[in-house]
Every structure is written in structure tokens, then in C-alpha cells.
Homo-oligomer: A and B are copies of this chain.
Amino acid sequence: VTAGWLIDPSTQGNRRILLASVPSGELREDHFARDEVAVPSPEAGELLCRNLVLSIDPAARAWMSQRTYRAQLSMGEVMAGYTLSQVVAECHSGYAVGDLVFGQGGWQQFSLARAEDVHPVRRRFDLATHMSTLGITGLTAYFGLVRVGAPKPGATVVVSAAAGATGNVVGQLARVIGCRVVGLAGSDAKLGLLTRLGFDAVVNYRDPGLRSALRDACPDGVDLYFDNVGGPVLATVLSLMNIHGCVVCCGAIAGYDHPENATSPPGIPGILVTRRVRMEGFLVHDYEHEWDAAEEILAGHVSRGEIEPLHQVIDGLDNAPKALIGLLAGANVGKCLVAIAGEVSGRAVRRP
């Protein structure tokens, strides 16, 4: 270890939240367990991170129960999750104690990371904004909309889970690009919020007349659908796609808790041929070498007031399971975050 520690590991444990059982159907508290272990020491090339803010993502539900783009979590493993952390100790890592980094620290107070697996964060806003609009979900919105969807000004963009972490940034960014933006959400409160954020039209996806409401909201049809939900809503929007339209497949939250909603839309591939529609899935990690550039762009929009950061911060690591359960039930508005620790400041202490 090449520098002092910002914490004293002899007086400090590492509280963690683990996968206790594999969920099927609705997620519950008893799918999680808690423990506390010793704070680990970094070896060469590693950093010890004190996790300050934890990102709660719908994808975590999928990581718990199936192989996705990452291996399924195993029983007793620390829950996976993105974190904004402060380096509290390091060993020949190229980072300095005190640095802020973004990484996959998981649902725990402290984590080790290899230097190449974290991104440095240059602080310019509150930490929550760095984890919402400038964080993984903001970047997801950026790359999905701008790089996969690439809508033209004037295009009609529909986004589902529009009051969610990714959706709200997609909608606000599409407005900046000059698109007509239609947001789908599940409550009047969310729809009101979207209108305040500048969405041109909003539709409640629980509306039994969803298709006709959406058709009214999209008099020129749908050019781009940014899909966070899959299931029946995807089927409905597909039926309103314009020729040469595009569906950006970002997630399928509708099916995570409710597999009965995970049905594929009818008419695949027929409707794709007839309307020359492109459906394309993507992961924000495929653009990792461009994250810094995209963050700059998003930071500019935030600074100029063109995109309003939207997040809810829940206090305390122990509340992370409740936060994920609520997120899957549609309770949240904007990015769902858990504050694990207050910001560490002050000078490094000698390692005991």
C-alpha cells in the first residue's frame, strides 16, 4: 500500500447485502441477506473504495435470476450494482486516495476494484446528479437515443417508463434534438411531471384504450420507440410504427417481476419487413470508450438547464432491497439511488 488510508479498518466493518435465494415472480425482502465482514486491503493495481452512492437498477432483478450479459449472481454473492465511490486506500493503481470513481462496487460499504475497472469522476454537480443524468442511466439514454436510434429533428419519439431513470433523460434529450416527444408512464403524478419536463404529450400505459390514446398523441405515427418495458406496450407501439421506424431495445422491465408480461409482440418478423422497421438492442457498456465524451455533452445540457436531473435518494444501504422492490413496482420517479455513506473528507490517516 503506497499511501495512507482515509478510514481506519480496525474500527470499521464492511456491511454487505447478499443474494439469499433466487427470486421467481415478485421480488421480496427475504431474497436478500445481510452480513458484515472485515474491510479488505488493496493489492497491487487495486483500489479500496468507500461506496458513497449506490445505483438501484431494474436489471439487478434479472441478474438475480438469470444469465444476462453478465453471469447470474450466485447464492451468497454480494448483490451487483453500480457505485460512486471515494478511494480510501490504493496500491500502485494510478489513483489517489480521495479520488471519486464510478464502478461496480456492489451493495456494500467497501469494495476492491482494479484500476482498469473504474472510471474517474470529475465532480461538478451534486453526487446524485453524477449518478443519475450523468451516470450509467443517463449514458444509457444518450447512447440508445443518439447512437442507436439517431432520430432526426421533427421525428416523433415515444419513450416508455418515461418517468424512470433512463426514460426521463431520453425524453429530455430528444426534446433538445428537436423531436416531438411522447412519454408513457403509469400514474397521473408521473405524467404531470413529464409535462413539466417538456414532454409534448403523455399517455398512461395502463389506459385500456392505450392504442388509440397513443395514436392521438402521435398524429404522424411513431418514428422511434425507446423501449424500456417490452411486453404488451411494445406490441402496441409496434403497431403504430412508421415506415423505416426504429425500436431501440433498452430493457424489458415489464417481464422481470411478471413473466406473464414477457411475451414477445405478435407479428415478428412480418411487421418489421412490411414497415422496414429496425429493432436493435444495445448495452451502455459497448460504448465505454465514449463515456467521457458523452458525459461532457450531458453535463453541458444540465449546466444550461436543458436537462433537469431527476432522482430519488433513499438513505442507508439496508434500504437497498426495499428500493429495488419499489422500483420494480413502479414506485420511483427518476433515478433510484441509495446513499450508503456521507461524503468522506479530511486527510488520510496512517494505515493501522
Residue A4 at the chain B interface, CB threshold 8 Å: no
- Contact partner of A273 (CB less than 8 A), chosen from B252, B268, B270, is B252
Tell me if A333 is interfacial: C-beta within 8 Å of chain B. no
Is A230 among interface residues, defined by CB-CB distance under 8 A?
yes
CA distance A183 to B268 in the complex (A): 22
CB pair B276–A278 under 8 Å, yes or no, is no
Q: Of the 9-residue stretches A36-44, A258-266, A317-325, which lies at the interface with chain B?
A: A258-266
Residue of A244, A266, A274, A277 with most partner-chain B CB within 10 A: A274
**Stretch of A21-29, A151-159, A280-288 on the interface side:** A280-288
If A264-B265, A265-B264 touch, whether A275 touches B270 (CB-CB below 8 Å) is no
Please, what's the 1-or-0 string for A103-123, where 1 marks a CB less than 8 Å from any CB in chain B?
A: 000000000000000000000
Query: What B residues does A234 contact at CB under 8 A?
Result: 268-269
* Closest B residue, CB atoms, query A231: B269
**CB interface residues, A 225-246, toward B, < 8 Å:** 227, 230, 234, 243-244
A249 at the interface (CB under 8 A from B): yes
Q: How many copies does the complex hold?
A: 2
A269 vs B237: C-alpha distance when bound (angstroms)? 13
**Does A193 count as interface, using CB distance less than 8 angstroms?**
no
> CB of A267 within 8 A of chain B?
yes
The distance in angstroms between the C-alpha atoms of A271 and B250, with both chains bound, is 11
Task: Judge if A13 is at the interface, Cβ distance under 8 Å.
Answer: no
Is there contact, CB below 8 Å, between B270 and A268? no
Choice from B255, B269, B271, B279 contacting A272 with Cβ under 8 Å: B279
Asked whether A270 and B230 contact (CB < 8 A) given A278-B279, A282-B276, the answer is yes
A274 and B68 CA atoms in complex are apart in Å by 6
Counting CB contacts under 8 A, is A251 at the interface? yes
Find out whether the CB atom of B230 lies under 8 angstroms from the CB atom of A249.
no
In angstroms, Cα B270 to Cα A272, docked, is 17
A252 and B268 alpha carbons, distance in the complex (Å): 9
Q: Shortest Cβ distance from A36 into chain B, in angstroms?
A: 34
How many whole Å from A247's CB to the nearest CB in chain B?
A: 8
Picked from B243, B250, B266, B279, the residue with its CB within 8 Å of the CB of A280 is B279
CA separation between A251 and B249, bound complex, in Å?
Answer: 22
A271, B273: Cα distance in complex, Å: 19
Q: Once the chains bind, are B268 and A276 in contact (CB under 8 Å)?
A: no
The CA of A14 and the CA of B195, in the complex, are separated in Å by 62
Chain B residues whose C-beta falls within 8 Å of the C-beta of A247 in the assembled complex: 269
Residue in B267, B271, B273, B286 whose CB lies within 8 Å of A282? B273
Taking a contact as CB atoms under 8 Å apart, the answer to whether A249 and B273 are in contact is: yes
28 A-B residue pairs with Cβ-Cβ distance under 8 Å, sorted by A, are A68-B274, A230-B270, A234-B268, A244-B286, A247-B269, A249-B272, A251-B273, A252-B269, A255-B270, A262-B270, A263-B266, A264-B264, A264-B266, A264-B267, A264-B269, A265-B268, A272-B279, A272-B280, A272-B281, A273-B282, A273-B283, A275-B281, A276-B286, A277-B280, A278-B279, A278-B281, A279-B279, A280-B280
